[in-house]
Amino acid sequence: MKEKNSENKINPYLLNLISMFASSVWCQLGKVPNPVDKKITKDLKSAKLTIDMLIMLKNKMHGNLTSEEEKLLNSTISDLEMNYVNEIK
C-alpha cells in the first residue's frame, strides 16, 4: 500500500536526473554558458537528442511516476521544446 502523501513526492534522484538533462539542453541551445569553459555555444542537434532522451524516459516510466513527477517531467519537456523551436526558426 502506498503512503498517503507519496503521490505528491518527487524522487530526489529523478529530480537530479531531469535537472541534469535540462541543464545540458539550456547549454546546447546557447541560453546559458557551458559550466566548463564559460562559453556560450549552440549545438541544436545535441539539444534535440537530449530532449528526445527526456521524452523516452517519460515514456518508459509511464505509470510509475507520481503525479508531481509527471508534472515536472511534462513541464520541463514542454519548456525545452518551446525554446528549441524558437532557436531553429
**pLDDT tens-digit profile of 66-78?**
999 999 999 999 9
Q: Are 67 and 8 in contact (CB under 8 A)?
A: yes
Read off the pTM.
0.87
Domain count, the chain: 1
**pLDDT tens-digit profile of 7-66?**
679 999 999 999 999 999 999 999 999 988 999 999 999 999 999 999 999 999 999 999
Q: How far is CA 43 from CA 23, 28, 62, 68, in A?
A: 13, 5, 29, 30
**pLDDT tens-digit profile of 4-13?**
455 679 999 9
Q: 56: domain range?
A: 9-88
Q: Which of 17, 38, 14 is nearest to 27 (CA)?
A: 38
- Position 46 in a domain: yes
